[in-house]
Structure 1
Amino acid sequence: MAGLALTLGLAPFGLVVGMAAEAKGLSLLETLLMSGLVYAGTAQLVALELWTDPAPILAATLAALVINLRMAPMGAALAPVLDRLQGLRLWGTLAVLVDNSFALTVAEMRAGRRDAAFLLGASLAMWVCWMATCTIGQVFGASLRLPAGHPVFFASVAALMSILVPLWRGRSDLLPWGVAGVLALAAHGLGLGQPWPVLAGALGGAAAGAVRDMRRR
Structure 2
Amino acid sequence: MRNVKSIYIAKGLVDMMPLNLAVLPWGILCGSLSIQRDFTALEALLMPLLVFAGAVQLVAIELIAGNASLATILLTTFIISSRHFLYGLTLRERMKNLPKKWRFPLGFLLTDELFAFSGHRRSYQNKNRLYYALSAGGSFYVTWFIWNLMGVLAGALLPDLTQLGLDFAIAVTFIALVIPGIKNLAILITVIVSGVLATIFHLWQWQMALIFASLGGMAAGYLVFQWQHGSKSVNKGTR
* Fold shared, TM-score > 0.5 on shorter chain: yes
What one-letter code is carried by the residue in structure 2 that aligns with 1:8?
L
Q: Is the 8 A contact 1:70 1:202 kept in 2?
A: no
TM-score (norm 1): 0.82
- CA-atom RMSD, angstroms? 2.6
State the SS of the aligned residue for 1:51.
helix
Unpaired runs of 5+ in structure 2? 1-13, 231-239
What's the offset of the Cα at 1:38? 1.1
Query: In the alignment, does 2:160 pair up with 1:145?
Result: yes
- The structure whose Rg is larger is 2
Q: Which residue of 2 aligns with 1:199?
A: 211
Compared CA separation, residues 29 and 55, structure 1 to 2 (3 A): farther
State the SS of the aligned residue for 2:117.
helix
Query: In the alignment, does 2:175 pair up with 1:161?
Result: yes
Which one of the candidate residues 156, 175, 184 is aligned to 2:189? Answer: 175
Compared CA separation, residues 147 and 62, structure 1 to 2 (3 A): closer
Q: Alignment identity in percent?
A: 27
Q: Which residue of 1 aligns with 2:40?
A: 27
Task: Give the whole-Å Cα distance in 1 for the aligned partners of 2:93 and 2:218.
Answer: 17
Unpaired runs of 5+ in structure 1? none
Query: In the alignment, does 2:128 pair up with 1:113?
Result: no
Q: Is the 8 A contact 1:35 1:134 kept in 2?
A: yes
Task: Give the whole-Å Cα distance in 2 for the aligned partners of 1:83 and 1:7.
Answer: 28
Task: Give the whole-Å Cα distance in 2 for the aligned partners of 1:32 and 1:17.
Answer: 10
Compared CA separation, residues 152 and 211, structure 1 to 2 (3 A): same
TM-score (norm 2): 0.75
Q: Which residue of 1 aligns with 2:26?
A: 13
What's the offset of the Cα at 1:152? 4.7
User: 94-103 vs 152-161, which deviates more?
Assistant: 152-161
What one-letter code is carried by the residue in structure 1 that aligns with 2:210?
V
- Partner deviation per Cα, 1:2-43 (whole Å, 9 max, x = no partner): 122212011100100001100111122111212211111111
Number of aligned residue pairs: give it.
210
What one-letter code is carried by the residue in structure 2 that aligns with 1:101?
L
Compared CA separation, residues 198 and 58, structure 1 to 2 (3 A): same
State the SS of the aligned residue for 2:137.
helix
State the SS of the aligned residue for 1:105.
coil
